[in-house]
Amino acid sequence: MGKFYQEVLMNGIKDMVFILKVVNDDFRFQFVNTAAMERLNLSNRIIGSSILDIEPKEKGNFLYKQYSQVVESKKSYTYEDIYEESGKKYYAETVLSPFFDEKGAVDQIIAVVRDITQERKALSNAMEMINSLAESNERYHSLFFHNTDGIFVLNKMGYITDGNEASEHITGYKIKELFGKPLKELVDKEDSGNFEHLINEALKGTNQSGDLIFKNKDGQQVNIIFKIIPLLIDEKIIGLYGILKDVTEQIQSINKLEESEKRFRIIAENAHDLITVVNKDGEITYVSPSYKKILGYCNQEYLEKSFLHNVHTEDQERLVEVVSKSIYTGEPFTIQFRQKNAEGNMIWCESIGNPVFNHYNAFQYLVVLTRDITLRREYEAKLKYFAYHDSLTNLPNRLYFKEQFAFAKEQFLTNHTPLALILLDIDHFKQINDNYGHDTGDAVIKEFGARIKAAIRDHDLVARLGGDEFVILLSNIPSSQNALEIAERINQTIRQPWKLNGHTLSVTTSMGIATSSCQQNFTESSLMKKADIALYEAKKSGKNCYKLYDNGNFPSLSS
């Protein structure tokens, strides 16, 4: 990688970054950035070591399992774990990204570790708030007895253990008459199955509600909305609350209660993300205070606006499609898109949305949690660049060349646009290294690559294969004569005077050329082999020249 990008990766990223090489079912450290070394008290001595050698047995086996999943699935993988620093416990989220060799096997794994300790603390604080609310509810237990709604307290078998005065008015029974009896006896026989379903679901820990017909003491039918709520103590269900309420008032109460509970839970657990509530007309009805910190907007500026109003125009149609599908299926969605901040810049965001429905299964509103992933996208782009480019010359590498060759071959088969390869290296490069040192040798390779790039056409590709070996992909090349003209131009460019590191050098190159016209059913491997044979002939002819592979012949060429 280039020095600038290496410096960015080493010192410019606050997250911990590791690059591990996959070696015979093992994972060995190849790179560790400064943030990781400082936080975990590591040094460059771990380079080349296995994670099983560095980490304690239990932690090493855990990490080995996570990295193995990436190798097996060939996909990115995210997990959370805990590590200690200076005796303190920290929580981390790790994203493992695979990078592949030319055979498509996982060759390296990039690990980016993000500290999520503050988010965990926020979650803990939220739970304390919830517990505090539970204590407050106990203090106002007297509301149970004076509530205008009928309330029964049931054990886990559905038997009545208590009730308020309002329940006596609805059923016509005194509470003492109902003690120890199953509430099911008051339900009309036709609704007994529905009643049992509500009870069973509530015992699983969820609030349930439905339309039921009760019969009072006089045998009259009473149409009510019945809501059953688990009674929790220390997160264990010890009984149930059964609430009998007027249909209209109960629906309104349920909607308000559910909306209040869900808003509170989302805000408490995700205080560092953008939280947005969108109604069924697509208008924003609530945004969290974090909008000011992340986007620079006051939360009030978003209210009653379309949820698309600040989204990049190129992403709006895709966002509408994803949201519409989520509402139709009732399933959550995840999407990445761009939106504008207060400074007018487009930033990348990732949103997770959940549609919320009422007890009639009608869509009510959308809750969306959004995170700024601009830096993550930049990291991914840089890592992708490093994976496809040579670190010394910044030219494309072998992996990038293979992908471009595949594309050029598709163009050849579709549009019959011929292509050619020029395989070349530096004559007597070992002598340059031996006589002038590796620093000068590296400088020669960089200048060699730059001169080749300047001599070829804009749409052609030069890649460094390794050492002093380079390859040029000539796409849409009309004839072999055109390839020879480009080779001659390269030769003339290389022969120009060289002055590097205070030395004046004489540098030449040998080239082997192969064209797609040599073989219709060619592959990258077959064409490279022919170019390599031609390169060998050029070297055998005294170097400082080029040879064209022509059906196994090598016509005499001037250079």
Over its length of 559 residues, how does the chain's per-residue pLDDT go in tens digits? 555 545 655 666 778 888 999 998 899 999 888 888 888 888 888 899 898 888 888 888 988 999 999 999 989 888 888 777 777 787 888 889 998 988 889 999 998 888 888 877 776 665 676 566 555 555 545 667 777 788 889 888 889 888 888 888 888 899 888 888 898 888 888 888 899 999 898 898 889 888 888 888 888 888 888 889 998 877 788 888 888 875 534 444 445 546 665 665 555 345 567 888 999 898 988 888 877 787 878 767 888 888 888 899 898 899 999 999 999 999 999 998 898 888 888 888 888 889 999 888 899 999 888 888 877 777 777 887 887 888 899 999 999 899 999 888 888 888 888 899 999 999 999 999 889 999 999 999 999 999 999 999 999 999 999 999 999 999 888 888 999 999 999 999 999 999 988 888 989 999 999 998 745 678 888 899 999 999 999 999 999 999 999 766 666 554 4
Supply 142's token pair. Answer: 């007297």
Query: Concatenated DSSP letters for 186-248?
Result: GB-GGGHHHHHHHHHHHTTT--EEEEEEEE-TTS-EEEEEEEEEEEEETTEEEEEEEEEE-HH
402 lies in the same domain as 474: yes
- Measured CA to CA, the distance from residue 443 to residue 437 in angstroms comes to 10
351 lies in the same domain as 320: yes
162 lies in the same domain as 241: yes
Interacting residues of 404 by C-beta distance below 8 A, sequence separation 6+: 396, 461, 473
- Give me the residues paired with residue 93 across strands: 80, 114
Task: Answer whether residue 382 is part of any domain.
Answer: no
368 lies in the same domain as 319: yes
Order of strands across the sheet with 419-426? 461-466, 469-475, 419-426, 509-515, 546-548
Structural domain harbouring 396: 389-548
499 lies in the same domain as 542: yes
- Measured CA to CA, the distance from residue 387 to residue 99 in angstroms comes to 7
Task: Answer whether residue 129 is part of any domain.
Answer: no
- Measured CA to CA, the distance from residue 195 to residue 212 in angstroms comes to 8
- Give the burial class of 140: count Cβ atoms within 10 A of its Cβ; 0-12 exposed, 13-18 middle, 19 or more buried: exposed
97 lies in the same domain as 13: yes
424 lies in the same domain as 466: yes
Structural domain count, the chain: 4
Indicate which CATH number applies to the domain containing 54.
3.30.450.20
64 lies in the same domain as 86: yes
pTM of the complete model beyond 0.85: no
197 lies in the same domain as 95: no
434 in active site: no
226 lies in the same domain as 304: no
Rounded to 5°, the CA angle 64-96-37 comes to 80
At residue 558, the pLDDT reads 46
Last residue of some domain: 115, 146, 175?
115
CA separation, residue 353 to residues 313, 332, 365 (Å): 20, 6, 10
Residue 450 burial (CB count, 10 A) = 15
Least Cα distance to 384 among 403, 371, 370 occurs for: 403
At residue 275, the pLDDT reads 85
| Count of helices and strands (H, E) across the chain | 18, 22
Which residue among 149, 372, 427, 468 is the active-site one? 468
403 lies in the same domain as 473: yes
If you count them, how many residues does the chain have? 559
394 lies in the same domain as 541: yes
Supply 81's token pair. Answer: 């774990």
At residue 140, the pLDDT reads 46
